[in-house]
Chain A
């Protein structure tokens, strides 16, 4: 079993839809949880970052962490064509080893 699993997609939604992106993990030592967005031919950019369990909201983006279920989610409200990208979850222990999920490709259709 991989340490971090993520539905690879591709995921295709109409503009304005609510998007749910999910990751599961097996290592209970992960404490820091991140979501990155990667456009084609670009480096990843950090979208959201949370510590331990709970929710965090930033504009149209909401990150949720459920450590008891080893499950994290990123919700995108009112999705836009500019949200079309690959979304990567990433996790880190307190010893600074970062593990990325394989990424989910999202297309938002106008």
Chain B
């Protein structure tokens, strides 16, 4: 079954304590991305990766890091979390977005992070 798996689903942490949210896809997709979703603001892209060892900033990258050492994994790292990073986070995996090609886009189930 094609899927994107995020862990953990729920996390409460304290300010400044480094954490990692993992994301794994089993579809051999090239493109992966992290989003945060906040009420009234919709989904905002944090970082994306077009392939292994290729990452780029989205709209709200401050305070986050990512890595793409393997095609299937795209972890999101918060080196020093702060309360304004309390949000619902989604990882997404997309086969391709190009003219004429059928695209597959899958989102994980989400990680609800609370930073106190």
| A binding-site residues for B, Cβ under 8 Å | 6, 8, 32, 34, 36, 41-46, 49, 51-52, 88, 90, 92, 96-103
Contact = CB atoms under 8 A, between A and B. Distances in A.
A101 B110 contact: no
Contacts, number: 63
A101 B42 contact: yes
Contacts of B20: none
A19 B75 CA distance: 38
Interface in B50-76: 50, 56, 58-59
Interface of B: 4, 31, 33, 35, 40-45, 48, 50, 56, 58-59, 90, 92, 97, 99-100, 103-110
B107 to A, nearest CB: 3
Given A43-B108, A96-B56, A49 B103 contact: yes
A44 to B, nearest CB: 5
